[in-house]
Amino acid sequence: MNAPMHTHPNGSMRLDAKVALVTGGTKNIGLATARAFAAAGADVIITARNAAGLEQARAELESLSTGKIVAIAADVTVDEDIVRSVDAVLEAFGGVDVLVNNAYYAGPLAGRRPALEMTSEQWDAIWRGNVLAPYRYIQLLEPTMRERGSGSIINLVSIAATGYVQGLMGYGASKSALATMTRYLAVDLGPAIRVNAISPGPVSPDGNPLGAIQRELADLSTLQRVGRADEIASLALFLASDASSLVTGHSLVADGGVLARAFAPS
């Protein structure tokens, strides 16, 4: 079986002539990833719920790139929005080469909630946002990657899928499911399409903690700090590009050593 052909030599982290979709692309990791892709030469589509935030992000990305930038309002918990956003992508570009499933739903869990106090409605919303939405984007866009001869899918999971973060059981369970989906699809969609995940610890746009959970995790980390969004974006660029042409089915952990320190003697 022939391996898919690559546009650039092995090791290149350029995305010239590539089309990339980043969901949740107006802030933090999503915006930083869209910036990195635009600077690397890709045409970039971003989605988010907030129209004003989309317009601001689109203007910034256009200043970084000679490629085309498209912003689409979409709520990942609403299947009709997912379908409509994919239709817009197909109309503008005919398909994608890179898909980053970054948008997520935390809902009431953002303020922490005891595990057994979650309602059926909360479970349904978090599952639709964090598991079904990435699946639907992959399901709808995979044929266009196959037509192009190759593709890279990147799912944003979380260390809450692997370790314990108090009050985030539902969120962690949904991200664990997404990590499992990543491994399965890497097998089922190969060899033309690579599927990987990034598992961040606490991350903010500038490295300053956002709230109590991030401060607590930063204190637990080996590096004793919160990550910056651009540090995660650099991993996304690696996975999107030919520099990672032999990497599929894996989750790259970028948590400053939170999980490693969990096993260190106290």
- Is residue 168 included in any domain, yes or no? yes
**Cα 214 from Cα 81, distance rounded (Å):** 31
Q: Quote the pLDDT of residue 58.
A: 96
7 part of a folded domain: no
Tell me the C-alpha to C-alpha distance, in Å, between residue 150 and each of 95, 96, 110, 185, 195. 12, 10, 36, 14, 11
Q: Is the pLDDT of residue 6 over 70?
A: no
> Domains in the chain: how many in total?
1
pLDDT (tens digit per residue) in 242-259: 999 999 999 999 999 999
Give the DSSP H or E segment for 20: strand 19-23
In terms of residue numbers, what domain contains 172? 19-258
Residue 263 inside a domain? The answer is no
Domain assignment present for residue 5? The answer is: no
Q: What's the pLDDT score for residue 107? A: 64
Token readout for 36 is 């990195």
Assigned domain for 12 exists:
no
Q: Is position 223 within any domain?
A: yes
Give a yes or no: residue 131 inside a domain.
yes
Which residues carry out catalysis?
171
Residue 40: give its domain's CATH number: 3.40.50.720
* Residue of higher predicted confidence among 166 and 31: 31
Residue type at 10?
Answer: N
The pLDDT of residue 168 is 87
pLDDT digits (tens, 9 = 90+) for 80-106: 999 999 999 999 999 999 999 999 987
pLDDT of residue 112: 59
Asked if residue 2 is part of any domain, the answer here is: no
Global pTM reads: 0.93
Confidence at residue 118, expressed as pLDDT on a 0 to 100 scale: 84
